[in-house]
Structure 1
């Protein structure tokens, strides 16, 4: 036990120090041991070892015995022995060889035996390999008996077991919480009754955590209470309870539904061991992928329309055999256009695809999940088409992905476009303020059109990393319209489900919290109390300023979430999942199927479906650690860039204080790496702030180095083999993901330092002229930026009987007006005719979507009246890619004569018949 509380406080309080931080600590210990072994001061080694001893209590390897051996060597003054053992442990942790190499667990092993291969000689061979995980054992047994207890657990291992695990033993609720948070290798938890409340270490953050959970004394340290705490932090974990009391009564308690199985005492330890392995197997199983592997090994005669299946046309060819050699035989053996013979149909899944989707629903916290093989563009269009019909109104972020706009066209729905807060300096938008959304709902209510408002459609998180307070948005909107449908485009945010910090900001995470709140008896009292305080009827001004509480008895919780699984998990490109938590799904299920039939290919890629299945497996079993590492990678990049004197002269990564205006950061949060920041501060921001910043999104300002975003993206790709996606006028966006390593960080930092050095040398060697030119370039990129144009309004021809306060429009009619060539005209951007018509009319009405990249949002939609600010923005644009606009032709507009005819019956059209009374 550590006498000094400081190390425990340092390690437990700082969530920012993840897997990479632990590796750094071990490397620091080795360096300190080297100094000591050379005759230097051993004090630094002792301090580092004391520090490490705290965090290592929560990990299976190196474990109790190796850590005890390391402390004994230090106590004996054995510098060489300490160095040797610390080095062996560090190497085993870095290579993860301890998972397969038994010698790594032996303090006496000299390390000269057969070492594990860092790169397997045959990637396809898994013979003898058993996945490794760790099981947390929470017990009231004295720590003196923990080594013996761990030995008892190891005796349960059998050669026939598919997996191997190591026990991690703790004796208190607080230490169990710490182990769950700090050890990503934990995959199962066994909770024995009789453990203590307080940690053996002093860490103030633990006091905050237990107080928030309502745990104040030892009587609160119950097994079920701990189970619920762990399940909230890491819902993917299997939990097992062991009790010496009335287990039958405990098993019948509804509160025990978070537990996989309850055991009486230790009478069936082998059964518990087998249950743990079965729970892991359940997550490990990939129904579709497993079946596809079996299918590939069967002798199949193919008489269907897919010549590439089985690969004969490839491997027997002298001309395309290289493709087969590049991709490998299994790719072709696993191809088929059949949905029989053990395979399944994506359009009507009843077998392995259905089972795979059910597992994905469990992993994502949804009622059901649909696999989509055409990307989230298709998922969005499917959801919009299934849930909206002609004349329905949807409140839509004007800056959302184009698939939502096209979905409105397909459905015939009428969007009310709402604007995100502008970030003019960086030529990008943030997210839509809740007040703006509430105002749109209240306007529709005032116009008597609230019944037609069916959906709120928002992007979470945005491309640049702005995350909504999803629970607050949904609750306040449901307070105005209890049956509102929510479509959250979380294309870039799928990984967030597996972070205990970010999960609450996902659509499914928030929906589950709202559902739990609805069933809490206190929810009705909270609603009625607020109603009494508001009075009847409250004004719109009061409603806009108040954090509204919905009536839990009236809510119809209908939430849809789309994820580009390929963007943040290990799925093949275009792999997407659509998650549903809709209490009324049965009312739209048939039309949802029709939307699937409309958009899904009848020839989906089998490998893509399999990758969706496998990506779910990976995230359920190791997603927690992978996401923690991705966040840590992002922090490392932010620190390295902003703290490097040379790089910081010309580049900087924007913090939350620059990306999110202060009025939306009610907690006062500034940035993840601000002084004194810890996970408690971040949790307060995640709970209270209207918008947060995804830590894995890093907006790097390059305009201060004289580069525009597109130019800098090209330099990185062409000269340094660094690929990125998004740019703005003066910035580029870096993203960390589960694929990145610290080596990637080092490469990026070296490249930025090299580019900054070149800029620096150019200014020094170029003299006054170079400096003047550089300053002018920076001014043009950073200061002379165009104002961002808001959506104006739909032309009256596309407004029909729209209300006076709402701004919806018939975008479908606007879109198809472009099909009438004679009814359209083109005017070039520089033509004075544009300026004349802006002043004197007739209106300039767009016949198409116009989407410049960057910034990537539509500055014109079909049927929109074009205003001066939009023209000014387009004239200042210096980007090459503008979808929907041909510079040679000019703007495509709907002629005034055609506008006048819209809505009138066409000549010869049959008259409308009145419905029979």
Structure 2
């Protein structure tokens, strides 16, 4: 937009130095334009012509049109905008006739990497246009570069690229001093470009690491018949012998895009809605007749429109499919989702990730199994243990007392739990490690490291990663490595290499035959690749970060032994899934996958930009930052978990190279899209501030803590949203300043008192205590797991229960001299949202103090009128 800004100044002032600035800006724009189809050399040449002719009005008019088309992406929808002034006789602006018509088809761009001279590149673009057909379902433009490095820059910068065509013979072009590419060395091994026998293979592998969804085609003048039979060739979607079949190349590009574009279930649902159908099943709302002919509820039909009702059915035939036992288009849609997310299997769920988690736990665990479980995870995991009869071994996340929240569970804590169970002879009972990635507040694990070190202690562990909030991360080359499926893939590849066994053997020499627990805790452990079984499950709330309807969830599987548990996994589906699933939710899961495969990379990148800009604007604003601030990495993650030392994503003194090193290597990072906005210094508790934003300013958010609220940027946000948020925060800050000046010292003293209560007078966050001895298989041991299921159902017997007032002095007496206080149920305050009591847990003084200091209205499992529900342990 610098060009547009200076164009306005030039048109207004006619100053020569501005014209010089524009000439330099155009030169820089031309270098960037290399990686994009629009605006292209024709329009940039036209701008240059206006500049040389001193036509400031023409320059401004054209630059405004180009800027508008880029921002609105009108060039995706209307090809005529490429020829803005449409001067038929103007040689600078005459576009090929093949692209002069209006476009209504989905648009994308194809990257061609060629060995030809730059003077030939425009001809290559023309050749690509020449094979277009009116019956093509999509329209594309070609971007041409001449080296591997420019290809990678294009892939990173241009989110419209959907297909790549490699012409053998192009240059490497790698320069280790290239500052732009050095940023991405943590993701891409650029040295592999030189190691491969074919540069094309090395480049294709590098592209696949950045954007694995892209289709890659190879044009080669070598012996492609022989090469096509090699394993390395599988990275290409198809291999052609040079340009002997230009139409076939075009058709292959179109077909590959169509393979991602098709949505098997949604497509069939649309066809079903178009058919004239008489319904004789139990769903009166289907076809909408009871709605549109009603004297009383026809407004519902007006609001939703006819398609919603035409696409409703309880049938599983006639073009539809069964979610419980899919064999047709739902199965196809799930298979496509699995491929899109890098999984072996995928299962759609229409009643939320709460159900997805319970499905996995029930399918993989049996009564008596032990699960290493984050005590602060979503309640569905705790209830899943109750249903499966598994015994949770609760591990604690690091606390952030000043914000009334928890982070993630340190790897050292997880290893300690495994080693403790091993020393007690119970390691064989440990079946699963179950963690939340990322947490509600944005703490993201080094997933690969957690799995590697745990598998070094017990090589057959199953991992369940609840990534309800993190599904979008697959579409970011930086964050993908921190997802369950991304880490499982990287770990599988690493363990298959000869170097993995060598590294393990070297570690064994260092640690010795019988290493102490201390040595195992202090060293980063390497698993024995001969023993490891990769068994990873990931659950995603697709509706939380992608374009799916509420309750749309998915279970992703990469389990080498899945065939051994598949039948029981289906039993878990039968247990939890509705026999009448919402067809619109299933369709939205199908469509969400399509969108992310075709434009997820660009959408997620934009969400990151929005978040970083919000952080920068709030924390650097002279007035807003007086009352509000987005907490940075150092405030959300203790230093010992940040090896990189990164304290703030927006720190101008920190290079992106170091920031990406943090994403790759730190034990925990903060998901950039999640922003904890501290509001305590403005005198607001989280719940009050959330309600003010919603009721007065129409800004909605979800999670709060005692002195903060959580903001999330997602694929739905844009720069206008940033402006709205900043305007609201500025208005509130100005009001606080005005009140302070207007009402004087007494007001200021009271205001500071309320701030101090929110910032300093905070309840201690209690850890999990232990299960009562009657719920532990070995009361003499100091391990933490217990029979939560038996405690849960003991509470169903009122004769075994009692109630005690939270503020009763009897509590102090019993804490001091007994009998012990044992929780009969889950007690979950919102906020902070984690269970401070679970069935069978011993209640401690710290827990009581925390409960008494809570000022939240919503506490699940606690009836203020009755008091705490306790189990009479003597009667059990």
Q: 1:73·1:79 contact (CA, 8 Å) conserved in 2? A: yes
Post-superposition offset of 1:250:
2.0
Q: 2:771·2:784 contact (CA, 8 Å) conserved in 1? A: yes
Q: How does 1:62-141 map to 2 (within 5 A)?
A: 62-106=39-83, 108-109=85-86, 129-141=104-116
Q: 1:35·1:42 contact (CA, 8 Å) conserved in 2? A: no
2:587 to 580, 605, 610: 610
**Which residue matches 2:755?**
778
- Residues 222, 880 of structure 1: CA spacing in aligned structure 2 closer, same or farther, 3 A cutoff? same
CA distance in 2, matches of 1:466, 1:430: 6
Other structure's SS at 2:144 match: strand
2:305 to 325, 328, 343: 328
Q: 1:197·1:218 contact (CA, 8 Å) conserved in 2? A: no
- Report whether the alignment pairs 1:850 with 2:850: no
Q: 1:65·1:147 contact (CA, 8 Å) conserved in 2? A: no
Post-superposition offset of 1:677:
3.8
Other structure's SS at 1:471 match: helix
**Which residue matches 1:284?**
261
CA distance in 2, matches of 1:27, 1:733: 36
Normalised by the length of structure 1, the TM-score is 0.92
Q: How does 1:651-800 map to 2 (within 5 A)?
A: 651-800=628-777
**Which residue matches 1:166?**
141
CA distance in 2, matches of 1:555, 1:760: 61
- Residues 679, 32 of structure 1: CA spacing in aligned structure 2 closer, same or farther, 3 A cutoff? farther
**Which residue matches 2:99?**
none
Q: How does 1:826-837 map to 2 (within 5 A)?
A: 826-837=803-814
**Which residue matches 2:844?**
867
Other structure's SS at 1:281 match: helix
**Which residue matches 1:560?**
537
Post-superposition offset of 1:54:
2.4
**Which residue matches 2:493?**
516
CA distance in 1, matches of 2:198, 2:56: 42
**Which residue matches 1:591?**
568
Question: 55-64 or 425-434: which moved more?
Answer: 55-64
Other structure's SS at 1:549 match: coil
Which 5+ residue runs of structure 2 have no aligned equivalent?
A: 89-101
**Which residue matches 1:362?**
339
Post-superposition offset of 1:714:
0.6
- Report whether the alignment pairs 1:257 with 2:234: yes
Q: 2:128·2:142 contact (CA, 8 Å) conserved in 1? A: yes
CA distance in 1, matches of 2:57, 2:37: 25
Question: 101-110 or 283-292: which moved more?
Answer: 101-110
**Which residue matches 2:96?**
none
CA distance in 1, matches of 2:193, 2:260: 35
2:164 to 165, 173, 189: 189
- Report whether the alignment pairs 1:447 with 2:424: yes
Which 5+ residue runs of structure 1 have no aligned equivalent?
A: 1-23, 112-126, 902-917
**Which residue matches 1:247?**
224
Q: Which runs of 4+ in 1 moved over 6 A?
A: 199-202, 216-221
- Residues 789, 220 of structure 1: CA spacing in aligned structure 2 closer, same or farther, 3 A cutoff? same
**Which residue matches 1:650?**
627
- Residues 581, 150 of structure 1: CA spacing in aligned structure 2 closer, same or farther, 3 A cutoff? same
- Residues 25, 387 of structure 1: CA spacing in aligned structure 2 closer, same or farther, 3 A cutoff? farther
Q: 1:33·1:82 contact (CA, 8 Å) conserved in 2? A: no
Other structure's SS at 2:18 match: coil
Q: 2:195·2:202 contact (CA, 8 Å) conserved in 1? A: no
CA distance in 1, matches of 2:547, 2:855: 36
Q: How does 1:269-348 map to 2 (within 5 A)?
A: 269-348=246-325
CA distance in 2, matches of 1:201, 1:139: 22
**Which residue matches 1:475?**
452
Q: 1:99·1:132 contact (CA, 8 Å) conserved in 2? A: yes
The superposition leaves residues 545-602 of structure 1 with CA deviations (integer Å, 9 ceiling, x where unpaired) of: 1111111111110000000000000000000000000000111111111110110000
Other structure's SS at 1:137 match: strand
Computed over aligned residues only, the root mean square deviation of the Cα atoms, in angstroms, reads 1.8
Q: 1:74·1:82 contact (CA, 8 Å) conserved in 2? A: yes
CA distance in 1, matches of 2:25, 2:144: 23
CA distance in 1, matches of 2:697, 2:87: 42
The superposition leaves residues 125-161 of structure 1 with CA deviations (integer Å, 9 ceiling, x where unpaired) of: xx97200000011111111211111111111111111
- Residues 383, 218 of structure 1: CA spacing in aligned structure 2 closer, same or farther, 3 A cutoff? closer
Q: 2:434·2:463 contact (CA, 8 Å) conserved in 1? A: yes
Post-superposition offset of 1:37:
4.7
CA distance in 2, matches of 1:588, 1:439: 29
Post-superposition offset of 1:731:
0.3
1:527 to 504, 513, 520: 504
The superposition leaves residues 494-549 of structure 1 with CA deviations (integer Å, 9 ceiling, x where unpaired) of: 00000001000000000000111122121111111111121111111111111111
**Which residue matches 2:94?**
none
Question: 255-264 or 647-656: which moved more?
Answer: 255-264
The superposition leaves residues 233-277 of structure 1 with CA deviations (integer Å, 9 ceiling, x where unpaired) of: 000000001101111222122122221111111101110010000
